[in-house]
Amino acid sequence: MIYNIHHLHCGSFCPVCAPLFGQKGWKAHLVCHCLLVETDRGLVLIDTGLGLQDYLHTEQRLGKLLSRFGQFESNLKLSAIQQIQQLGFSPNDVKYIFVTHLDFDHAGGISDFPNATVHVLASEFNATQSLSAKGKLRYKTEQFKQHRHWNFAEQTDGEAWFNLQKVKGLPLFQDEILMVPLIGHTLGHSAIAVKKQDGWILFCGDAYFSHLELNPKNRLKALDLTERLLAEDNQQRLHNLKQLQYLAQHEPSIELICAHDPVEFNRYQ
């Protein structure tokens, strides 16, 4: 049973050239939007943003390139573990972590919760085991290679969920938390659906970067270039974006959220 959903801001960075991220001006402002879900089985963290060690040892943990050009806000209070403590919980209350994918800005906090079980698509974890040049930039395996508790979900033909598919084999939460594969940005990218009293939140990770993309009439050429360059399968990314646009236009019971849009995050403040 789900009791409450908290929206956490677990990282802030300001790369140059805002139009590349669907924003105006010179520097973009990106957040690491994560969810903390109170359930009868303990706390569930959905994505983890940057972790304590990322803030304390940014260059060693993320590399010189990201450290210099990411323009990260160095603020330990933005870590999920400190925000969870601010809410009055213990880090040990976090029993489960669902990650949309294992990019550095989504997986950094895994090491702050060594006793939690991390749920991720098996294809995503496998992609971190043999890294291309692009893989070395996006995956920082120091963040999670020591973690012991994993559940690798197989991307099989799950039952239909609206116009998408869901991963089978997650009975823990009685279909109130679902993994919904949205391959494209990475080879094992997944959205996480969370049931509310009056509908659903669909946390889409990096399946899109700006709320403006949910309207197919908007043309964001610079952002499309960024997403195409970051994507492991751009054709699949575009297909899934169309599916999300359909949900945004036709399913008012579903709140769509991506990971980095400050406009979406501010709706919950």
Per-residue pLDDT of 232-262, as tens digits, reads 999 999 999 999 999 999 999 999 999 999 9
Instruction: Flag whether pLDDT at 59 surpasses 90.
Output: no
List pLDDT tens digits, range 82-138: 999 999 999 999 999 999 999 999 999 999 999 999 999 999 999 999 888 888 989
Average pLDDT over residues 43-64: 93
Q: For position 123, what pLDDT does the model report?
A: 96
- Distance CA(198)–CA(40), nearest Å, equals 19
Contact present, 178 and 192 (Cβ < 8 Å): yes
Q: For position 155, what pLDDT does the model report?
A: 84
The Cα-based distances of 56 to 51, 53, 80 in angstroms read 9, 5, 14
Q: For position 14, what pLDDT does the model report?
A: 81
What's the mean pLDDT when you consider all of the chain?
Answer: 94
- Distance CA(262)–CA(213), nearest Å, equals 14
Higher pLDDT: 119 or 59? It is: 119
Q: For position 252, what pLDDT does the model report?
A: 96
- Distance CA(217)–CA(102), nearest Å, equals 31
Query: Check: CATH 3.40.50.740 for 2-266?
Result: no
Nearest to 2 by CA among 31, 28, 41: 41
Count the Cβ atoms, other than its own, within 10 Å of residue 135.
16
Instruction: Flag whether pLDDT at 215 surpasses 80.
Output: yes
Q: For position 2, what pLDDT does the model report?
A: 92
